[in-house]
Amino acid sequence: MKLFYTLSILILLHLSTINGQTLTSTNLPIIKVNTNRGVIVNEPKILVDLEIIHNGAGKINNVTDAPNVYQGKAGIEYRGSTSQQLFPKKPYGIELWVDATEKSRKAALLGMPEESDWVLNATYNDKTLMRDVLAYDLANRMGRYATRTRYCEMMINGNYEGIYILMEKVKKDKGRVDISTLKTTDNSGDDVTGGYILKIDKTEGSKSRLWNTTLNYGLAQFTIPYQIEYPKMTDITDAQFNYVRKYVTDFETSLKASDFLSPKAAWRDYIDIDSFVDYFLLTEFTKNVDGYRLSTYFYKDKDSKGGKMKMGPAWDYNLAFGNANYLDGFVTSGWQYKVNDLAIPAKDVNFLAPTWWERLTQDSTFRYKAASRWTALRKTTLSTERINAWMDSTSAALESAMSRNNSRWTGVLGRYVWPNYYVGVTYRDETNWMKDWIRQRTAWLDAQFKVYGSPLATEQEITADSPMRVFPNPSENDITIEYYVPQKGRVNINLYDFTGKIVASVVDEEKIAKTYQHKINISHFSNGMYLIDYQVDGTSIERAKLIKN
């Protein structure tokens, strides 16, 4: 009986260790949060005690060590939209406080420049825990500021919570988005011209002043909210709001004009085209399904400091690198801007991308710069060998912590977590799949950029770079769909209305590699915008808009 009792206790202790994973020491920094019986909520932040332990590179950190990076008060709350609602491992926003008065306090954390606002990213549905960190690393190496990151292990009220990524929040600051401070008295002349941080995103979370831009697809009309992240809603004046709204609107108006390809088109004076090229390359390389249409930042400094609108900083790439089973996020071929700009078949009508990228990619200057920049980056920052080495090094650094994290969150590995396309059994499966996805993606982009800087195909040409055309478009009656099949396979061409409903199956049959034409009568269609989706063997080849008059 005594032996049975002893074995029972040992089994219970073993199960407790598995289900309630503990932390004693780690090679990663340790973050400890004590809520003093308070309950963390979406908002507002609650007062907590915060401690951060890090004994230096290559050294072991113990839970019992004295805090040597930060010890003091902070405010903490849940952050995020989808991740907060769907996943058990919650992301957090933290602000360093002096005391219970909630006065903010700046501090340099783990080698990052001092600030008061920080993010603890959970990245629950990215089982590699690398996608955000890698994307930001690439952006910084491209010479574009993106949030700096540090992997940590976290405990809340003595309970182990797994690996978190301590990150800088997108914010106007000398060490972050380094633009001019706007005072409430800056309402005219050069003073009112900057700086501003804007974003295209969901409107949940902190309220900001915004305006809506309108997209007209035939008779259907959609809006995209342009939100002003800085200055805050409580600080921005009417003069400042009206200035930046007019600036962005004037840029869009010129880009939509019939003469937008002219070397003298006004939009060229509104933007820093190189920053747009870099954002385009990063978003296409990673095939981020949220790119262009969500978590998309851009900013503008004063005219006296350059003044042109710039894209960035890069943000929210956890659904990149193949980690999405919708909007072709898992497919290694195809331009993602074409999918995200036409997100209608996914019925994601509330989150469309602006038409900026559809227009910019028709411009010879933009195309030449993109092709040249891609070629240069592939030799350095976007080298497959360098990225593989980065992933191997990161995997090694996370090895022991990852075991604890996966024991704490047992529902992650080997199971589908929205919106995974690939589900690996082990952590190595996940990282190897991501490496292979990157290899295939870069191979496709290499082939595209070899011809991307060349003059655009004429209306009579169908190529691998432009595999489908529709004419006449707009049309009242008959249209012709001409398409190039790159290799033998089953071709599917479908027409969708703006709700995502298939209104016509144009082609569904095996085809050999060559160019085809297919005529279709659309006189019985309702007036409006339609989408033509062309696939071979289930792989998206091209999408195009069709306007029925």
Residue 341, pLDDT score: 62
Residue whose structure tokens are 């780690």: 26
pLDDT digits (tens, 9 = 90+) for 218-256: 666 778 999 999 999 999 999 999 999 999 999 999 999
Residue 454, pLDDT score: 64
Residue 229, pLDDT score: 97
What average pLDDT is seen over the chain?
90
Q: What is the pTM of this model?
A: 0.84
What number is the average pLDDT over the span 364-390?
96
Residues near 144 by beta carbon (within 8 Å), at least 6 away in sequence: 275, 278, 279, 312, 313, 314
Percent of the chain with pLDDT over 90: 73
Residue 463, pLDDT score: 52
Contact assessment for residue 514 and residue 523, using Cβ atoms and an 8 Å cutoff: no
Q: Flag the least confident range among 183-197, 259-273, 416-430, 517-531.
A: 517-531
For residue 313, cis peptide bond before it (omega within 30 degrees of 0): yes
Residue 502, pLDDT score: 87
- pLDDT over 60 at 14, yes or no: no
pLDDT digits (tens, 9 = 90+) for 430-472: 999 999 999 999 999 999 998 787 654 333 344 545 788 888 8
Going along the chain from its start, the domains and CATH numbers come out as 16-168 (no CATH), 189-378 (no CATH), 468-548 (2.60.40.1930)
Residue 422, pLDDT score: 98
Residue 350, pLDDT score: 60
- Closest C-alpha among 409, 441, 439, 436 to residue 129: 409
> In a 3-state reduction of DSSP, which class is residue 164?
strand
Q: Flag the least confident range among 34-38, 284-288, 537-541.
A: 537-541
Measured over the CA atoms of residue 250, residue 252, residue 258 and residue 264, the dihedral's sign is positive
Return left, alpha or beta for 326; rule: phi > 0 is left, psi -120 to 50 is alpha, else beta: beta
Percent of the chain with pLDDT over 70: 91
What number is the average pLDDT over the span 43-50?
96
What number is the average pLDDT over the span 36-47?
95
